[in-house]
Amino acid sequence: MNIITNTEQLDIVCAELAREPFVAVDTEFMRETTYWPNLCLIQMAGESHEVIVDPLADGIDLGPFFRLMADEGVVKVFHSARQDLEIVYQRGDVIPAPLFDTQIAAMVCGFGEQIGYENIVRKLAGAQIDKTSRFTDWSRRPLSDKQLKYAISDVTHLRTVYRKLKTELEQSGRAPWLKEEMATLTSPDTYRAEPAEAWRRLKFRARNKKALGVFIEVAAWREREAQERNVPRNRILKDDALSEIAVHAPADAASLRQLRAVPRGFADSRHADRLIRAIEEGRARDPSSLPDVADDRGGPRENVGVLGDVLKLALKVVCEREGVAAKIIASAAELEMLAADDNADIPALKGWRRQLFGETALALKHGKLAIVIDGKRPRIVARDETYAEAAE
Instruction: List the CATH code of the domain at 304-382.
Output: 1.10.150
Alpha carbons 279 and 214: distance in angstroms, whole number: 5
For residue 263, cis peptide bond before it (omega within 30 degrees of 0): no
How buried is 126 (Cβ within 10 angstroms: 0-12 exposed, 13-18 middle, 19+ buried)?
Answer: exposed
Q: What is the pLDDT of residues 321-377, one digit of tens each?
A: 999 999 999 999 899 999 999 999 999 999 999 999 999 999 999 999 999 887 778
Residue type, 307: L
pLDDT in tens, 380-389: 999 876 555 5
Residue 299 predicted with pLDDT over 50: no
Q: Which span out of 153-157, 207-211, 217-221 was modeled with the highest average pLDDT?
A: 217-221
Domain boundaries, the chain: 3-190, 195-289, 304-382
Residue 206's pLDDT band, with cuts at 50, 70 and 90, is confident
Please state, in angstroms and rounded to a whole number, the distance separating the CA atoms of residues 143 and 334. Answer: 44
Per-residue model confidence as pLDDT tens digits over 79-134: 999 999 999 999 999 999 999 999 999 999 999 887 889 999 999 999 988 877 77
Topology classification of domain 3-190: Nucleotidyltransferase; domain 5 (3.30.420)
**Which residues have CB under 8 Å from 295's CB, separation 6+?**
none
How far apart are alpha carbons 99 and 166 in whole angstroms?
12
195-289 under CATH 1.10.150.80, yes or no: yes
**Same fold for the domain at 195-289 and the one at 304-382?**
yes
The answer to whether 67 touches 11, Cβ cutoff 8 Å, is: no
3-state secondary structure at position 89: helix
Contact assessment for residue 157 and residue 96, using Cβ atoms and an 8 Å cutoff: no
